């Protein structure tokens, strides 16, 4: 046999992540926490304004009130995933609206006017992306500057005038229901499905996670970071153009240069509430989609409860701060409680228990695999299972004995310390 035939090929390693569905983890995931918050807000509204809540059209009106910001939220997810930020989205949205409105007033065909408005938003986003990616300027500085630039152009062009000639389907999207479901919500969910696929199922989405976690690592991995950032900011501008359709429709088919202020902060807040990290590389699309509905219901509910506009902003901001802090507080608080109560504040005991727990978990998985192995007869299964069970008992016993020794030493050290420093 030749030397090539004598060579042994290395076995193919299975690098796929195999993690089954766990109901316990799913029920405490951040997305489910958002669902609980949404249900709680509905319960409050239901109990406080029962007649209004169950009157026809109320739920639809609440949902429609939050859909004008929804395209901005989807685009902002990708921006935050990069670890960047875009505070020019509201100005870009108004700029896109102005382009469409002026073209419609000039008698340009509707489809061309709408596409021109979306294209204008995309160009604004591309300009932001070029400055950030290729000129190396900080995203926050660039977008603050372009926010003033785009808004200033709109104010110069329109002055105090109001554009009122827009395509009729704008108001249809904002106000019409299909089978009792707001058309704007349907379109939002469809766009959300596309963004879910891009972020979580495509190579481009993987790139965003990698860039957001470590830009240098992404560059050395062969990812064109500059091009990716340019694409994301251009996509954000495109979503601003699409948002102009929802926004103008929500405003009844008109717009002025003073409209849309604060929408950028709302979009960012919704993304953060939805679990997207402002540091980049963390988050999913599901959370911000649910958070968009939460913000709509929260704002509407506070209004119905006669809370004035300024207090509503305070309450909303406070809730957002708490929502962002909850995951970190929970993890740190639970860890501190476990260390103090279960392990008497001894980190060695904690580490040993954690290690033993992982080892026992692995052994139990082996037992589960043996039980499902049809190639083994019952006697072989019982023998192997007994072997693993004995190992589990032995490891748990050793862990318990060692922890007892450490805790006793800690107790004696504490006693000696008290005696040494006791006041005589």
DSSP secondary structure letters along 4-60: HHHPPPPPPP---------HHHHHTSHHHHHHHHHHHHHHHHHHHSHHHHTSTTHHH
Whether residue 293 has pLDDT greater than 90: yes
φ/ψ (deg, to 5) at 157: -70, -45
Q: What is the DSSP letter of 168?
A: T
Whether residue 12 has pLDDT greater than 70: no
More reliable by pLDDT, 352 or 191: 191
Whether residue 277 has pLDDT greater than 50: yes
Name the strand (E) or helix (H) holding 89: helix 89-105
* Residue 17 confidence (pLDDT): 47
Rounded CA-CA distance 295/68 in Å is 12
When mean pLDDT is compared across 43-52, 101-110, 243-252, 314-323, the lowest value belongs to: 314-323
pLDDT above 90 covers what percent of the chain?
Answer: 54
267 burial via Cβ count (<10 Å: 0-12, 13-18, 19+): buried
When mean pLDDT is compared across 18-32, 145-159, 289-303, 404-418, the lowest value belongs to: 18-32
Place of tokens 């979009």: 267
* Residue 98 confidence (pLDDT): 96
């Amino acid at each position: 046999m030749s030397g090539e035939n004598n060579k042994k090929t290395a076995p193919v390693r299975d690098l796929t992540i195999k993690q089954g569905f766990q109901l316990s983890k799913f029920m405490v995931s951040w997305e489910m926490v958002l669902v609980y918050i949404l249900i709680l807000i509905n319960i409050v509204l239901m109990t406080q304004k029962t007649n209004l809540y169950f009157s026809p059209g109320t739920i639809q009106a609440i949902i429609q009130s939050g859909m004008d910001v929804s395209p901005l939220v989807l685009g902002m997810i990708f921006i935050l995933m990069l670890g960047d930020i875009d505070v020019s989205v509201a100005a870009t949205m108004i700029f896109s609206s102005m382009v469409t409105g002026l073209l419609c007033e000039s008698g340009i065909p509707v489809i061309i006017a709408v596409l021109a408005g979306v294209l204008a938003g995309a160009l604004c986003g591309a300009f932001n992306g070029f400055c950030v990616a290729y000129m190396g300027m900080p995203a926050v500085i660039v977008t603050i500057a372009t926010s003033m630039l785009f808004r200033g152009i709109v104010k110069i062009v329109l002055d105090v005038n109001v554009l009122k000639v827009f395509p009729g389907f704008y108001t249809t999207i904002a106000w019409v229901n299909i089978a009792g479901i707001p058309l704007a919500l349907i379109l939002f969910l469809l766009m959300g499905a596309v963004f879910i696929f891009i972020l979580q199922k495509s190579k481009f989405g993987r790139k965003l996670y990698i860039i957001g976690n470590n830009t240098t690592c992404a560059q050395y991995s062969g990812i064109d970071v500059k091009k990716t950032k340019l694409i994301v900011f251009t996509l954000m501008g495109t979503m601003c153009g699409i948002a102009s359709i929802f926004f103008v429709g929500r405003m009844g088919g008109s717009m002025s240069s003073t409209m849309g202020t604060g929408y950028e902060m709302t979009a960012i807040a919704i993304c953060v509430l939805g679990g997207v990290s402002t540091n980049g590389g963390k988050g999913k699309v599901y959370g911000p989609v649910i958070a968009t509905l939460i913000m709509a219901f929260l704002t509407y509910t506070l209004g119905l409860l006669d809370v004035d506009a300024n207090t509503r902003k305070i309450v909303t901001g406070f809730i957002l701060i708490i929502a962002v802090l909850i995951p970190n507080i929970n993890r740190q608080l639970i860890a501190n409680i476990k260390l103090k109560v279960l392990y008497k504040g001894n980190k060695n005991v904690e580490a040993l228990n954690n290690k033993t727990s992982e080892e026992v978990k692995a052994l139990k998985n082996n037992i589960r695999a043996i039980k499902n192995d049809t190639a083994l007869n019952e006697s072989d299964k019982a023998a192997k299972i007994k072997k693993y069970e004995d190992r589990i008992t032995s490891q748990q016993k050793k862990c318990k004995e060692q922890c007892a020794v450490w805790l006793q030493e800690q107790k004696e050290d504490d006693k000696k310390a008290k005696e040494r420093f006791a006041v005589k």
